[in-house]
């Protein structure tokens, strides 16, 4: 046993203090179990080496022997020796270090890969700088290592150690404290650890004292900041630290504070903003965060953007003022918050206003913000002006005219009431031939005159042209182009009369003046009507008018003609007193007032406005457009001008004409310019509206009159004063062609969910010519299709292919139920309530099938006792047997892939551009995605709804089938089986639900017919077909001549009617908000519902079904 | 209007159901030719189906017709239960139908008393015997077996077979069946069966046009012309919201209620809020929208 080397070593050991040998012997017994003989020797020898390194290293050796038995259990011998040697090196430098190394080894070895041991030892060693303090630090490191290693990946330990080392150059004490703090704090971090360490590292160079504070603060930060955002938050800290921000800890605490208070889900957005600030001036970040809480108390997160952008701009120009801005120590900032906090965003009140407008107009109006209108590029260009195109009302996105929300809302109301008034009181229904109520008919005569004038002009032009051509010809300089012949400018009149308004405006020589007058007078008529019909908003609209008046230009400053138009505007805004009128034209002003007063009458219609315009035009156009001296004006009171009289009017016009003729320099006046628009009245474009309506109507019933070509449209647009106005403002690119195309597109209103170019092929003439089809393959069926023009079926027109949906993951089903667990339970309960008490006897009834014996005997006994008996002595078998078979048809068209919230964008952080300006743009876009973060598609909701429904249906035992439909063309109507009506509910069905995906188009008719066939074979008493769609039916060739959308609607209607003939009750549910218009004709008197809120689909679907069947009695 | 003799000691007047006569002229403002149609149908023994939304005046119309048909021409009416010369009895039996209304509720049943059983006629039987106008309000609500009961009454036979007593009652000459029905319900199963439907002539009711509605509101509620006018306008606007979230528009009845509150001095906006807005919907957004309309219309 006692071989030479060992005893030698033991002898050597004995020279050291006796405790060493003691320890050696104690350990030896255990170590023997792990090591071989030779190994024991090496082991023992290493201890000796350790013990003899320095004077005091025997202490290390004792520790070495002490822990050896424990350590040897975890390490193979080579690793063990490696470990031991690490200790030896450490002992060389500092025995204390080696002692702590060995001590902590016991607990570290089980958790650390053997190959890391030297690195770990090295970490400790690196902290030792030969001083007493450093050795304490290094020892401490070994002390805390077990905890660190147990909880962190080793590289994090390394990073942390190097951080401590770096810190130790500044202060050993702080480094030591941080070491301990780190042990406590770091393990709790997840992914944030890395950014945190990076941030701390960055801090050391700039403000190392912060590190400790940060370590103290970070746990709280982690609790209060969204888990997903902590990483970014700390990364931000790192960036700040790197650029030399001093009080990072302050940032950390303020940031935590601020982020903890922002509304859920917007922390990311706030961090975006911070990131943007870092790019500009990092110093601005802490003040921004500090103010944030205060700011968000006053404005909403979505409003924050404009406040922030403003500050950011300031910051770029002048950091000082920018920072003051973010500290809210500047007036600009304060004022902006003031405005923002009272401003009202359209989005917030859109739905209320939509219903309000619908109520007033009785039409299915939609509300959009004006930007949308401008983007369509169909003639409206002003983003701040409200408008309407007859089916939609456009309102500015934000109102901040007043210091409180209430007033701003009133403004919205005034503006939308005015826009709706155009519809309600018929501005767009102008009919050239319809009689006015207040005026005699003058327009026909005027039109005659105009035509005469034009033909005279034409003759003159022709003569001039011929003369020119002759001259040219005689000069022998005939240009090829010039001989192209004379173009008749009058040809256009035919185009212009395409709309009634166009025809009317054509009368005026100065169309712009005519149109301006028409606009003012019509607005005046409407404002008066509104005042009469809606006295409730008189106060609000009165205020708006007064304010508008205050901002109108002075009449005295304008040339006469424009001044008179302005006078009309003043009067239309209810100012009749103290109006400045040029002395020479007092009668003209009075005449205008009396014309205008005729329109302040509830009976007046738009034709009256037109007649009034004719008269006002005749007056105003005979006044020279010259600047008059201020002294020549006189304040007039035009409140009661007296009734309008045609005679007086005519004599006035004659008089003015005479005046014109007299002054030889008649044409010398300034050229006429349109007045400033009246903001709250918005943009009035009757010609455009009539045009679009007409184009749309023509689209529906072709054949009549020749259709409008793009060229004609362009021509027409160029002529229209509505366009001229805008061109003047310099925004319409003369790209009329594009413009006309947009309008035609708009008028054609392609189905909202059609995406041309997505591979559906051109929606042009199609397989109209094709013949009957035959179902050759199995699982295919042929159906007729209804052609409403022919008023007959197209025989064997569609092939329906029945397919079973693939099986996917059943998790979707479970997940949905979990997401909606509360709702699912509720629905189930509701369904159970209607569960039939099939064939259950009910006793003690006043009437029933037979005598309830028990009750009868009791009654008999009572009778004999002379007590009035209970008369409930019958029993009855409940016949409320519920026999319902239902088929659900899900729309699986491509459009169901549409995300429910538009404008979303899932941009990754990494795409962030470096350029600050681009960054802002990027940020804004990103934010839109972040604020609404639900990226569900319509089909997802359909699926969830189906899940809930199945869950509920299973509880009441109705027979049901669930099918999806889609397809491409009439030969390919795909009919997907999710659960066949005969099939039981199983995991397969669950799996199939997962695989419901948006596919192609929607040929509803054929799908309905096929579903009806399935239902027809059911024996249930009540049969229901439930159709869930997201838009109009449409498919390649599912139209007539490729354009008539009506075809699809009619065919679908017919299919539904057929179903009803088979005693099936059809019900359509759509999520298409624009669904009312076609659903009415599609469903007729059959039930349908348009879901106002798509999100409610999963909830609404089962409820509707319940309602639909709840009263199925006997 | 539809009650009699306020002179009596008691605070109420009790009639046997088939004795109830509409004594005073109920206010009814005809909109089309419905009075002529109903009179003709009555003379020709053709049952009448009144279709229309809630609160548009169907019930009032029937009351009016009962009064009108019972009124002899050129006889001055007086209070009292005695029939005047030339007056005929056209009692009005109104039954509001509900889901649990059984056939025996209508026809009658045996009751137990000390001496055994006693047959009690149901309201329908009584009406048939007495020659009344039997008005089944909201007939779709009734159980389907009850609707079958009316079949023999509504064709040429005009009989009411009573299974339990084994008898058949021939209807009095003056008897007329009249049912009402609101097609606005979306529940597909609450529909009248065709076999039932086709036994009636149908008179469609709708909300009156604004000017007539104004007249009605003013007359019924006693509010000012301006208020009545505004209420009619409000009603019209609210009805525009049907299908845009509102299940049914504001009925004339509701408008009258609002008018009544106004005539009691309740401020118009408040009156329309409690009588119309809150009654019509629980949806806060819709409420707000309707209130905005109301605040535009009322000062």
pLDDT tens-place string over residues B185-235? 544 445 677 788 888 999 999 899 999 999 999 999 999 999 999 999 999
Binary contact (A847, B104; C-beta < 8 A)? yes
Residues A652 and A637 in one domain: yes
Q: Residues A32-54: what's their mean pLDDT?
A: 81
Q: Residues A325-345: what's their mean pLDDT?
A: 80
Asked if residue B11 belongs to a domain, the reply is no
Instruction: Calculate how close chain A gets to B295, using CA atoms only, in Å.
Output: 5
Q: For residues A1061 and A1054, give the distance between their C-alpha atoms in angstroms, rounded to a whole number.
A: 10
Residues B22 and B168 in one domain: yes
Give the nearest chain A residue to B298 (CA atoms): A536
Asked if residue A192 belongs to a domain, the reply is no
Residue A925: which domain range? Answer: 902-931
Instruction: Please say whether the beta carbons of A1025 and A1064 come within 8 A.
Output: yes
Residues B175 and B221 in one domain: no
Counting the structural domains of chain B, the total is 2
Q: What are phi and psi of A433, to 5 degrees?
A: -90, -10
Binary contact (A1067, B188; C-beta < 8 A)? yes
The domain boundary residue, chosen from B170, B204, B238: B204
Beta strand segments in B114-175, E: 116-121, 133-137, 159-162, 167-170
Asked if residue B158 belongs to a domain, the reply is yes
Question: Given CA atoms A335, A337, A341, A345 in this order, what sign does their dihedral have?
Answer: positive
Task: Judge whether residue A374 has pLDDT over 80.
Answer: no
What is residue A843's three-state secondary structure?
A: strand
Q: For residues A22 and A31, give the distance between their C-alpha atoms in angstroms, rounded to a whole number.
A: 14
- pLDDT class for A495, splitting at 50, 70, 90? low
Task: Judge whether residue A324 has pLDDT over 80.
Answer: yes
Of the candidates A451, A431, A441, which has an alpha carbon nearest to the alpha carbon of residue A611? A441
Q: For residues A1089 and A1101, give the distance between their C-alpha atoms in angstroms, rounded to a whole number.
A: 10
Asked if residue B5 belongs to a domain, the reply is no
Instruction: Calculate how close chain A gets to B242, using CA atoms only, in Å.
Output: 9
Task: Judge whether residue A343 has pLDDT over 90.
Answer: no
Instruction: Calculate how close chain A gets to B241, using CA atoms only, in Å.
Output: 5
Consecutive H or E run containing A977:
strand A973-979
Binary contact (A538, B144; C-beta < 8 A)? no
- Asked which of A374-378, A464-468, A870-874 is least confident by mean pLDDT, the reply is A374-378
Asked if residue A78 belongs to a domain, the reply is no
Binary contact (A871, B298; C-beta < 8 A)? no
Residues A983 and A910 in one domain: no
pLDDT given at position A770: 58
Please tell me if residue B99 touches chain A, with a CB cutoff of 8 Å. yes
Give the nearest chain A residue to B297 (CA atoms): A534
Instruction: Please say whether the beta carbons of A1050 and A1004 come within 8 A.
Output: no
User: Which residues, other chains included, contact B104 with Cβ-Cβ below 8 Å and sequence gap of 6+?
Assistant: A846, A847, B122, B164
Residues B196 and B223 in one domain: no
Residues A1089 and A945 in one domain: yes
Residues B136 and B273 in one domain: no
Nearest to A359 among B113, B241, B295 (CB): B241
Asked if residue A47 belongs to a domain, the reply is no
The domain boundary residue, chosen from A639, A666, A684: A684
* CA A240-A241-A243 angle, 5° bins: 65
Task: Judge whether residue B256 has pLDDT over 90.
Answer: yes
Most confident of A139-153, A485-499, A1059-1073: A139-153
* CA A272-A278-A281 angle, 5° bins: 135
Q: What are phi and psi of B83, to 5 degrees?
A: -75, 135
ipTM: 0.82
Contacts of A859 in chain B (CB under 8 A): 112
Pairing of strands A392-395, A780-787: unpaired
Q: For residues B267 and B52, give the distance between their C-alpha atoms in angstroms, rounded to a whole number.
A: 31
Binary contact (A1065, B188; C-beta < 8 A)? yes
The domain boundary residue, chosen from B174, B204, B234: B204
Task: Judge whether residue A254 has pLDDT over 60.
Answer: yes
Contacts of A360 in chain B (CB under 8 A): 237, 240, 293, 296
Provide the token pair at A937: 């598609």
- Restricting to B residues 175-214, those with a Cβ less than 8 Å away from any Cβ of A are 183, 186-190
Residues A612 and A720 in one domain: no
Residues B111 and B23 in one domain: yes
Asked if residue B42 belongs to a domain, the reply is yes
Residues A663 and A737 in one domain: no
* CA A363-A369-A371 angle, 5° bins: 130
Find the radius of gyration of the CA atoms of chain B: 21
- pLDDT class for B145, splitting at 50, 70, 90? confident
Find the radius of gyration of the CA atoms of chain A: 44
CA distances, A280 to each of A255, A273, A313, A412 (Å): 18, 11, 9, 37
Asked if residue B135 belongs to a domain, the reply is yes
CA distances, B171 to each of A786, A909, B125, B132, B251 (Å): 49, 85, 9, 9, 35
Residues B139 and B253 in one domain: no
Task: Judge whether residue A470 has pLDDT over 50.
Answer: yes
Give the burial class of A493: count Cβ atoms within 10 A of its Cβ; 0-12 exposed, 13-18 middle, 19 or more buried: middle
pLDDT in tens, A1031-1073: 777 666 666 555 566 777 788 888 888 888 777 888 887 777 6
The CATH number of residue A953's host domain is 3.40.50.410
Instruction: Please say whether the beta carbons of B228 and B253 come within 8 A.
Output: no
- pLDDT class for A903, splitting at 50, 70, 90? very low
Asked if residue A95 belongs to a domain, the reply is no
Instruction: Please say whether the beta carbons of A393 and A366 come within 8 A.
Output: yes
- pLDDT class for B3, splitting at 50, 70, 90? very low
User: Which residues, other chains included, contact A990 with Cβ-Cβ below 8 Å and sequence gap of 6+?
Assistant: A810, A812, A813, A814
Asked if residue A822 belongs to a domain, the reply is no
Residues A1005 and A1030 in one domain: yes
Residues B189 and B59 in one domain: yes
Binary contact (B186, A1089; C-beta < 8 A)? yes
Instruction: Please say whether the beta carbons of A1073 and A1036 come within 8 A.
Output: no
Contacts of A542 in chain B (CB under 8 A): none
Q: Could you tell me how many residues make up chain A?
A: 1114
Residues B255 and B176 in one domain: no
Residues A586 and A703 in one domain: no
Residues B198 and B215 in one domain: no
Q: What are phi and psi of B77, to 5 degrees?
A: -85, 145
Binary contact (A359, B188; C-beta < 8 A)? no
Q: Which of A356, A364, A532 to mutate to test the interface with B (most CBs of B within 10 A)?
A: A356
Phi-psi region for residue A318, left (φ > 0), alpha (ψ -120 to 50) or beta? beta
The stretches of A109-153 forming alpha helices (DSSP H) are 117-127, 132-151
Q: Residues A985-1010: what's their mean pLDDT?
A: 79
Pairing of strands B92-96, B108-113: unpaired
Give the nearest chain A residue to B146 (CA atoms): A1114
Q: For residues A677 and A520, give the distance between their C-alpha atoms in angstroms, rounded to a whole number.
A: 10
* CA A683-A685-A686 angle, 5° bins: 140
Instruction: Calculate how close chain A gets to B258, using CA atoms only, in Å.
Output: 17
The stretches of chain B forming alpha helices (DSSP H) are 34-43, 58-70, 103-107, 123-130, 144-149, 151-154, 194-197, 210-221, 225-239, 252-263, 268-272, 278-280, 284-297
- pLDDT class for B258, splitting at 50, 70, 90? very high
Q: Which residue has the tokens 């890395």?
A: A194
Q: Residues A635-663: what's their mean pLDDT?
A: 82
Task: Judge whether residue A902 has pLDDT over 60.
Answer: no
Asked if residue B150 belongs to a domain, the reply is yes
Asked if residue A138 belongs to a domain, the reply is no
What is residue A416's three-state secondary structure?
A: helix
- Asked which of A417-421, A483-487, B105-109, B263-267 is least confident by mean pLDDT, the reply is A483-487
Residues A907 and A977 in one domain: no
Q: Residues A556-562: what's their mean pLDDT?
A: 85
Residues B246 and B147 in one domain: no
pLDDT given at position A764: 35
Q: Residues A280-287: what's their mean pLDDT?
A: 81
Q: What are phi and psi of A792, to 5 degrees?
A: -155, 165
Q: For residues A1012 and A1066, give the distance between their C-alpha atoms in angstroms, rounded to a whole number.
A: 9
Binary contact (B293, A359; C-beta < 8 A)? yes
The stretches of A243-284 forming alpha helices (DSSP H) are 248-261, 267-280
* CA A423-A379-A367 angle, 5° bins: 45
Counting the structural domains of chain A, the total is 6
Q: For residues B72 and A167, give the distance between their C-alpha atoms in angstroms, rounded to a whole number.
A: 113
Residues B78 and B129 in one domain: yes
Task: Judge whether residue A776 has pLDDT over 70.
Answer: no
- pLDDT class for A297, splitting at 50, 70, 90? confident
Asked if residue B50 belongs to a domain, the reply is yes
Provide the token pair at A96: 């204390």
Q: Which of A367, A1081, A1111 to mutate to test the interface with B (most CBs of B within 10 A)?
A: A1111
Give the nearest chain A residue to B112 (CA atoms): A871
- pLDDT class for B76, splitting at 50, 70, 90? very low
What is residue A385's three-state secondary structure?
A: coil
pLDDT in tens, A662-717: 775 545 567 888 888 888 888 888 888 888 787 777 655 544 445 566 666 776 66
Q: For residues A958 and A1022, give the distance between their C-alpha atoms in angstroms, rounded to a whole number.
A: 10
If one counts every other C-beta atom within 10 angstroms of the C-beta of residue A284, the result is 24
pLDDT given at position A511: 84
- pLDDT class for A745, splitting at 50, 70, 90? low
Binary contact (B299, A362; C-beta < 8 A)? no
- Asked which of A450-464, A725-739, B230-244 is least confident by mean pLDDT, the reply is A725-739
Contacts of A1108 in chain B (CB under 8 A): 186-189
Q: Which residue has the tokens 């020892």?
A: A139
Instruction: Please say whether the beta carbons of A85 and A126 come within 8 A.
Output: no
Residues A854 and A916 in one domain: no
The CATH number of residue B22's host domain is 3.40.50.300
Residues A527 and A630 in one domain: yes
Residues A528 and A672 in one domain: yes
Residue B228: which domain range? Answer: 210-297
Q: Which residue has the tokens 């009957």?
A: A772
Residues B146 and B170 in one domain: yes
pLDDT given at position B185: 57
Nearest to B243 among A869, A1076, A1110 (CB): A1076
Residues A1103 and A1032 in one domain: yes
The domain boundary residue, chosen from B159, B189, B204: B204
Contacts of B202 in chain A (CB under 8 A): none
Give the burial class of B171: count Cβ atoms within 10 A of its Cβ; 0-12 exposed, 13-18 middle, 19 or more buried: buried
Binary contact (B187, A1076; C-beta < 8 A)? no
């Amino acid at each position: 046993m006692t071989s030479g080397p060992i005893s030698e070593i033991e002898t050597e050991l004995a020279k050291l203090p006796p405790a060493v040998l003691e320890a050696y012997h104690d350990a030896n017994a255990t170590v023997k179990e792990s090591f071989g003989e030779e190994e024991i020797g090496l082991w023992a020898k290493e201890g000796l080496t350790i013990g003899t390194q320095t004077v005091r290293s025997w202490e290390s050796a004792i520790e070495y022997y002490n822990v050896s038995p424990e350590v040897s259990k975890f390490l193979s011998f080579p690793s063990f020796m490696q470990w031991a040697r690490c200790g030896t090196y450490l002992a060389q430098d500092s025995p204390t270090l080696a002692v702590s190394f060995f001590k902590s080894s016991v607990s570290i070895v089980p958790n650390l890969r053997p190959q890391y041991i030297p690195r770990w030892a090295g970490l400790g060693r690196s902290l030792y700088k030969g001083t007493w303090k450093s050795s304490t630090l290094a020892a401490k490191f070994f002390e805390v290592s077990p905890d660190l290693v147990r909880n962190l990946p080793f590289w994090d330990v390394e990073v942390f150690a190097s951080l401590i080392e770096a810190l130790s150059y500044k202060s050993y004490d702080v480094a030591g404290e941080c070491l301990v703090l780190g042990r406590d704090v770091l393990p709790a971090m997840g992914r944030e650890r890395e950014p945190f360490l990076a941030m701390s590292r960055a801090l050391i160079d700039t403000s190392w004292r912060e590190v400790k504070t940060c370590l103290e603060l970070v746990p709280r930060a982690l609790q209060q900041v969204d888990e997903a955002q902590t990483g970014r938050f700390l990364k931000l800290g790192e960036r700040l630290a790197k650029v030399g921000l001093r009080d990072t800890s302050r940032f950390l605490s303020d940031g935590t504070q601020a982020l903890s208070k922002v509304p859920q889900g917007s922390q990311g957005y706030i961090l975006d903003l911070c990131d943007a600030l870092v790019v500009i001036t990092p110093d601005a970040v802490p003040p921004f965060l500090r103010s944030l809480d205060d700011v968000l108390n006053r404005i909403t997160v979505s409003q924050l953007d404009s406040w922030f952008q403003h500050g950011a701009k300031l910051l770029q120009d002048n950091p000082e003022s920018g920072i003051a801005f973010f500290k809210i120590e500047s007036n600009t900032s304060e004022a902006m918050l003031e405005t923002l906090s009272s401003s009202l965003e359209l989005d917030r009140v859109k739905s209320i206003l939509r219903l309000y407008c619908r109520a007033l107009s009785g039409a299915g109006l939609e509300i959009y913000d004006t930007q949308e209108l401008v983007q369509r590029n169909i003639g409206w260009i002003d983003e701040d002006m409200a408008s309407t195109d007859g089916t939609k009302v456009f309102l500015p996105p934000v109102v901040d005219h007043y210091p409180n929300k209430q007033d701003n809302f009133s403004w919205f109301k005034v503006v939308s009431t005015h826009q709706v008034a155009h519809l309600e009181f018929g501005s767009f229904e102008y009919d050239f031939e319809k009689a006015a109520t207040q005026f005699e008919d003058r327009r026909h005569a005027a039109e005659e005159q105009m035509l005469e004038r034009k033909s005279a002009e034409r003759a003159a032009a022709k003569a001039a042209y011929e003369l020119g051509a002759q001259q040219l010809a005689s000069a022998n300089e005939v240009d090829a182009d010039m001989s192209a012949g004379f173009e008749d400018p009058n040809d256009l009149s035919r185009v212009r009369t395409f709309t009634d308004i166009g025809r009317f405006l054509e009368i005026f020589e100065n169309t712009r003046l005519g149109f301006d007058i028409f606009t003012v007078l019509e607005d005046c008529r409407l404002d008066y009507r509104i005042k009469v019909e809606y006295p409730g908003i008189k106060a609000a609209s009165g205020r708006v008018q007064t304010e508008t008046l205050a901002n109108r230009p002075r009449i005295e400053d304008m040339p006469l003609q424009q001044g008179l138009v302005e006078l009309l505007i003043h009067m239309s805004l209810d100012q009749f007193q103290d109006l400045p009128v040029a002395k020479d034209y007092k009668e003209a002003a009075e005449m205008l007032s009396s014309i205008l007063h005729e329109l302040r009458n509830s009976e007046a219609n738009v034709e009256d406005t037109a007649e009034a315009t004719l008269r006002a035009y005749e007056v105003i156009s005979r006044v020279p457009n010259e600047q008059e001296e201020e002294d020549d004006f006189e304040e007039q009171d035009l409140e009661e001008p007296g009734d309008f009289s045609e005679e007086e009017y005519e004599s006035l016009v004659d008089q003015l004409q005479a005046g014109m003729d007299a002054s030889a320099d008649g044409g010398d006046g300034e050229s006429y310019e349109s007045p400033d628009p009246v903001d709250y009245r918005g943009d009035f474009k009757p010609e455009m509206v009539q045009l679009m309506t007409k184009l749309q109507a023509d689209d529906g019933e072709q054949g009549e009159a020749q259709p409008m070509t793009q060229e004609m449209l362009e021509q027409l647009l160029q002529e229209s004063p509505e366009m001229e106005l805008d061109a003047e403002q310099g925004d319409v690119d003369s790209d009329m062609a594009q413009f006309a195309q947009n309008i035609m597109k708009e008028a054609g209103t392609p189905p909202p969910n059609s995406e041309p170019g997505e591979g559906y092929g051109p929606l042009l003439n199609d397989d109209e010519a094709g013949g009957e089809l035959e179902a050759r393959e199995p699982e295919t069926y042929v159906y007729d299709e209804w052609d409403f023009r022919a008023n007959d079926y197209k025989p064997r027109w569609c092939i329906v292919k029945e397919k079973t949906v693939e099986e996917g993951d059943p998790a979707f089903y479970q997940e949905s139920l979990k997401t909606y667990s509360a709702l699912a339970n509720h629905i189930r309960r509701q369904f159970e309530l209607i569960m039939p008490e099939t064939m259950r006897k009910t006793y003690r009834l006043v009437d029933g099938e037979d005598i309830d014996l028990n009750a009868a005997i009791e009654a008999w006994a009572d009778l004999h006792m002379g007590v009035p008996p209970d008369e409930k002595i019958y029993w009855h078998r409940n016949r409320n047997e519920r026999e319902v078979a239902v088929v659900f048809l899900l729309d699986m068209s491509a459009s169901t892939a549409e995300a429910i919230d538009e404008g979303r964008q899932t941009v990754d952080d990494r795409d962030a551009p470096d350029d600050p300006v681009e960054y802002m743009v990027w940020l804004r876009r990103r934010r839109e995605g972040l604020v609404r973060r639900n990226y569900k598609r319509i089909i997802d909701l359909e699926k969830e709804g189906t899940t809930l429904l199945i869950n509920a249906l299973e509880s009441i035992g109705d027979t049901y089938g669930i099918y999806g439909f889609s397809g491409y063309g009439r030969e390919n109507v795909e009919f997907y089986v999710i659960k066949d009506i005969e099939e039981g509910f199983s995991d397969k069905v669950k799996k199939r639900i997962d695989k419901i995906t948006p596919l192609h188009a929607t040929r509803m008719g054929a799908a309905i017919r096929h579903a009806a066939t399935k239902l027809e074979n059911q024996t249930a008493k009540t049969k229901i077909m439930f159709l869930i769609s997201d838009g109009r039916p449409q498919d390649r060739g599912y139209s007539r001549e490729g354009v008539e959308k009506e075809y699809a609607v009619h065919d679908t209607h017919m299919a539904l009617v057929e179903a009803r003939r088979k005693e099936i009750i059809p019900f359509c549910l759509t999520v298409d908000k624009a669904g009312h218009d076609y659903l009415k004709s599609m469903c007729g008197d059959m039930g349908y519902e348009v879901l106002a809120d798509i999100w409610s689909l999963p909830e609404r679907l089962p409820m509707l079904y319940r309602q639909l069947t709840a009263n199925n009695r006997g | 209007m539809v009650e009699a003799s306020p002179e009596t000691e008691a605070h109420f007047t009790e009639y046997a159901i088939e004795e109830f006569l509409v004594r005073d002229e109920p206010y009814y403002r005809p909109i089309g030719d419905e009075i002529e149609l109903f009179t003709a149908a009555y003379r020709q023994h053709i049952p009448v189906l009144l279709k229309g939304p809630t609160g548009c005046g169907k019930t009032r119309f029937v009351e009016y017709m009962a009064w009108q048909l019972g009124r002899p021409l050129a006889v001055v009416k007086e209070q009292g239960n005695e029939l005047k010369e030339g007056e005929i009895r056209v009692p009005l039996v109104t039954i509001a139908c509900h889901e649990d209304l059984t056939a025996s509720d209508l026809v009658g049943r045996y009751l137990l008393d000390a001496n055994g059983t006693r047959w009690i006629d149901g309201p329908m039987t009584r009406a048939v015997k007495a020659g009344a106008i039997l008005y089944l309000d909201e007939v779709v609500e009734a159980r389907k077996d009850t609707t079958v009961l009316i079949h023999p009454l509504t064709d040429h036979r005009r009989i009411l077979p009573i299974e339990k007593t084994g008898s058949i009652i021939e209807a009095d000459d003056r008897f007329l069946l009249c049912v009402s029905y609101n097609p606005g319900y979306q529940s597909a199963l609450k529909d009248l069966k065709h076999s039932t439907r086709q036994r009636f002539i149908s008179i469609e009711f709708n909300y009156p046009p604004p000017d007539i509605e104004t007249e009605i509101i003013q007359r019924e509620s006693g509010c000012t012309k301006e208020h009545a006018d505004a209420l009619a306008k409000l009603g019209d606007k609210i009805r525009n919201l049907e299908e845009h979230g509102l299940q049914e528009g504001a009925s004339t009845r509701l408008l009258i209620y609002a008018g009544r509150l106004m005539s009691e001095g309740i401020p118009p906006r408040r009156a329309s809020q409690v009588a119309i807005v809150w009654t019509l919907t629980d949806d806060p957004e819709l409420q707000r929208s309707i209130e905005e309309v109301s605040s535009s219309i009322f000062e």
